[in-house]
């Protein structure tokens, strides 16, 4: 396949290609450093733009959020995406329900180490409460409804509903090649974004955020991404490396595209 156009690359990044075209671009990218570099450049631009819009949003009047579209400040849904190395079998963090904010929180924890601000300056500009960097292999609360969605030999997604708060965790061992997680939400109203970057990462995690979409490129190993959504959120969707893996609609969380991605429900190990 010839090099994809930049338009095709951006459509690939935005999950706007049909399955066949996506497969072709993905196959090409696997063996083409030039195109991977081009895509990285585009994502870098996206990152700068995303920060700009997020910063502009901090200047908006509080009254905008207190209008008729205000959301309840009670229960929330939580969605966690965790990247782990093969030597780290299960990196899962439990968040107390009472500590959940209705706004979103994202943290990137690489190697389980302490977080520090070593990112490009735009990643330092989104501020907020940082989720506690607790990483423990056995932290997942026991639940008979636990289920894991096995993506591949090195990646899995788990779904864990707890007292009306749903936690979704993605366990991935393929983070060295810019594993890419995108969370699509129906509405980003009042969703706050927090990113913590690790000191030990060779490469800096990147993220994009904007109304309706949040993208995280996991860099290094053991990356953790965490997002809380307001309970009134109507819909969310998660893709990993271009594959849709989970949808959240109301209180229902389910895997999607099982037929094409090979994602299947499996008992949690």
Contact residues for another protein, defined by CB under 8 A:
5-11, 14, 16, 41-42, 44-46, 48-53, 55-62, 64-65, 67-69, 121-122, 124-125, 127, 184-185, 187-189, 210-213
* CB atoms near residue 32 (< 10 Å): 16
Q: Are strands 179-185 and 213-218 parallel, antiparallel or unpaired?
A: antiparallel
**Minimum distance, C-beta of residue 158 to another protein, in the bound complex (Å):** 26
**Minimum distance, C-beta of residue 105 to another protein, in the bound complex (Å):** 16
**Minimum distance, C-beta of residue 36 to another protein, in the bound complex (Å):** 16
**Minimum distance, C-beta of residue 155 to another protein, in the bound complex (Å):** 26
User: Is 5 or 260 the residue whose CB approaches another protein more closely?
Assistant: 5
Separation of alpha carbons 30 and 106, rounded Å: 28
User: Is 59 or 142 the residue whose CB approaches another protein more closely?
Assistant: 59
User: Is 2 or 267 the residue whose CB approaches another protein more closely?
Assistant: 2
Name the token pair of 52.
């700009």
Contact between 245 and 262 under an 8 Å Cβ cutoff? The reply is no
**Minimum distance, C-beta of residue 248 to another protein, in the bound complex (Å):** 15
DSSP symbol at 97: G
Separation of alpha carbons 212 and 19, rounded Å: 22
* CB atoms near residue 34 (< 10 Å): 9
User: Is 53 or 199 the residue whose CB approaches another protein more closely?
Assistant: 53
Q: Which residues pair with 166 in a beta bridge?
A: 161
User: Is 85 or 232 the residue whose CB approaches another protein more closely?
Assistant: 232
User: Is 48 or 139 the residue whose CB approaches another protein more closely?
Assistant: 48
Phi-psi sector, 26: left (phi>0), alpha (psi -120 to 50), beta = alpha
**Minimum distance, C-beta of residue 265 to another protein, in the bound complex (Å):** 28
Separation of alpha carbons 220 and 150, rounded Å: 21
């Amino acid at each position: 396949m010839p090099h994809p156009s930049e338009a095709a690359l951006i459509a690939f990044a935005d999950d706007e290609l049909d399955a066949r075209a996506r497969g072709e671009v993905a196959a090409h990218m696997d063996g083409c450093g030039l195109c991977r570099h081009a895509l990285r450049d585009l994502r870098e631009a996206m990152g700068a733009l995303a920060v700009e819009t997020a910063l502009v949003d901090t200047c908006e009047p509080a009254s905008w959020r207190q209008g008729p579209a205000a959301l309840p400040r009670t229960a929330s849904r939580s969605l966690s995406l965790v990247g782990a190395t093969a030597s780290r079998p299960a990196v899962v963090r439990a968040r107390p329900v009472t500590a959940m904010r209705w706004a979103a929180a994202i943290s990137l924890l690489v190697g389980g180490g302490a977080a520090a601000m070593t990112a490009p300056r735009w990643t330092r500009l989104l501020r907020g409460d940082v989720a506690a960097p607790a990483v423990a292999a056995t932290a997942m609360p026991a639940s008979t409804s636990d289920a894991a969605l096995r993506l591949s030999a090195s990646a899995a997604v788990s779904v864990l509903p707890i007292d009306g708060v749903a936690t979704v965790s993605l366990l991935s061992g393929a983070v060295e090649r810019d594993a890419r997680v995108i969370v699509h939400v129906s509405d980003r109203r009042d969703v706050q974004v927090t990113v913590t970057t690790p000191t030990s990462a060779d490469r800096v995690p990147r993220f994009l955020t904007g109304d309706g979409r949040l993208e995280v490129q996991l860099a290094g190993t053991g990356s953790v991404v965490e997002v809380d959504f307001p309970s009134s959120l109507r819909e969310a969707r998660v893709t990993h490396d271009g594959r849709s893996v989970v949808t959240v609609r109301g209180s229902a969380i389910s895997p999607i595209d099982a037929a094409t991605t090979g994602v299947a429900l499996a008992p949690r190990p």
